Amino acid sequence: MAVLKRRKATRPKVFGIGFHKTGTTSLAVALGQLGYRVTGPNGVHDPHIADSYLAMCRKLANQFDAFQDNPWPLVYREMDRLHPGSKFILTLRESDEWLRSAVGYFGSKMTPMRELIYGYGAPVGHEERYVERFEQHNQDVLDYFKNRPHDLLVFRITEGEGWERLGRFLGAEVPSAAFPHAKPADGRSAAP
């Protein structure tokens, strides 16, 4: 008689597809606490990122369970096609609050990743373009998932949303500890 091996149930991959400065680091810490193997940001300083990010993401998507920060917001359509049944989390915050955070954090420091995303590597002097791109991305994601509400969580970590919504969306039992806030505006880390 043949012995059948039970396949370990795998949970869906989770893609954090909100732009940086929307609580992505806190999301990464939370997903890690739920047992996911998380990666991101990836390739931020790679001078060839514009040519290599999609191949890099395809490779990393086979090595990890969860993804956040850049370049993951750029590849949600591709990841949805390659990994059916995945879950997507759009971390959001108000545009003016997001811009203040981005300018305060990145200033005039340039990266190839931000140049790829916005056309300009630093937010200072390009604030209007940054907000335009931020808002367009958020709307594109909402439009893409408009008929699939069970596949997308719109998550406002900076407004206090936490374990209850994330746990329900992922069907996960959540820790009793407070939801992590890895990079609060005052600079103090509340993450373990």
Q: Is the dihedral of CA 54, 41, 129, 112 positive or negative?
A: negative
pLDDT of residue 20: 95
Q: Can you give the residue ranges of every domain in the chain?
A: 14-170
Task: Tell me which amino acid residue 21 is.
Answer: K
pLDDT of residue 182: 79
Task: Tell me which amino acid residue 109 is.
Answer: K
Q: Are 69 and 28 in contact (CB under 8 A)?
A: yes
pLDDT of residue 8: 44
CA distance 180 to 37: 17
CA nearest neighbour of 61 among 43, 78, 44: 78
Spell out the alpha helix ranges (H) of 119-192: 127-144, 163-170
Q: What's the 3-state SS for 26-82? A: HHHHHHHHCCCCEECCCCCCCCCHHHHHHHHHHHHHCCCCEECCCCHHHHHHHHHHH
Would you tell me which CATH number, out of the four given (2.60.40.10, 3.40.50.300, 3.30.450.30, 3.40.50.720), belongs to the domain 14-170?
3.40.50.300
Give mean pLDDT in consecutive 10-residue pieces for the chain, a chain of 192 residues: 47 96 96 96 95 97 96 98 97 97 96 97 97 98 97 96 95 91 53 31
Query: Helix crossing, 95-106 with 127-144: angle to 10°?
Result: 130
For residue 144, give Cα distances in angstroms to 86, 124, 148.
14, 30, 8
The sheet carrying 152-155 orders its strands as 38-39, 66-67, 14-16, 87-91, 152-155
CA nearest neighbour of 123 among 92, 140, 141, 98: 98
